[in-house]
Amino acid sequence: MHMKTNQRMRRGFTLVELLVVIAIIATLAGVGVPVIIAQKKKGDLTEAIANSKSIGLSMFNFDQDYGSFPSSATGETVNTNNPGSNMTFTGNSNGFFRQLIAAGYADSEKMFYAKAPYTIKPDNNMVGQACLAAKEVGFAYIMQSASDALPDSGNSGMPLIVAAVYNAAADGTFDPDVYGRKAVIYRMDNSATAESIKPSDKTVLVSGGKSLLQSGEGTVWGTTVPSPIIVPPLKN
């Protein structure tokens, strides 16, 4: 009798017991994984907000010396002041932000990173076109035209830097999956906030129920910036 008892004890799990254990593990995973993902997105959002403020401060310092936020005109000046840099200073947000590094207002690529499906962590290689190369920038830059920066004397609530634009596009849509249905909006008053993305059309409302690129009376742009545009980052 004693031998039979020991044989039962050494037998291990039965199929039913094993299925019960698997079911418990699956239940715990189902509860825990969404929490982990949500915390990861919150961390990515916090990082993007902090980095947007760092970029904004560099842009205001740049503006004080160059008389404008990065634009096509300032790009020519930066190029003149830094001959042989072999950098392109326009065309996308990478190029415009590159002016900040070339002119000495940013000493690292890291602050230009924001989590997005099309981004990778910058390698901090700031030589020539390797500086803020494709996928190393997660922020889009808002301008009043493809060559002209926003006026620094405009409404203090005007957005200047945003993330994460959907598929690195310029149509004013945001990816709801990156930061838990939030978009990062950095404004002229040096505030950076997480704004809700409308699930119906992936847009963000920034003032008086108006979408980001909607201009005219009653919008954050007023009549100062009749046609704001989003200059997205370079994703490939």
Task: List the pLDDT tens digit at each of the 236 positions of the chain.
Answer: 455 545 554 456 687 777 777 877 777 667 665 666 666 889 999 999 999 999 999 999 999 999 999 999 999 999 999 888 899 999 999 999 999 999 999 999 999 999 999 999 999 999 999 999 999 999 999 999 999 999 998 789 999 999 999 999 999 999 999 999 999 999 999 999 999 999 999 999 998 789 999 999 889 999 999 999 999 999 99
pLDDT at res. 131: 97
* Residues 112, 128: Cα–Cα separation, whole Å: 17
3-state secondary structure (DSSP) of residue 187: strand
| Pairwise CA distance, residues 141 & 7, whole Å | 72
How do the domains of the chain map onto residue ranges?
A: 14-231
Query: Average pLDDT over the chain, rounded to whole?
Result: 90
- The pLDDT tens digits for 108-117 are 999 999 999 9
Q: What is the pLDDT of residue 154?
A: 77
Handedness of CA 68, 74, 77, 81 (dihedral sign): positive
CB 117 within 8 A of CB 179: no
CB atoms within 10 A of CB 228: 21
Q: What pLDDT score does 161 carry?
A: 98
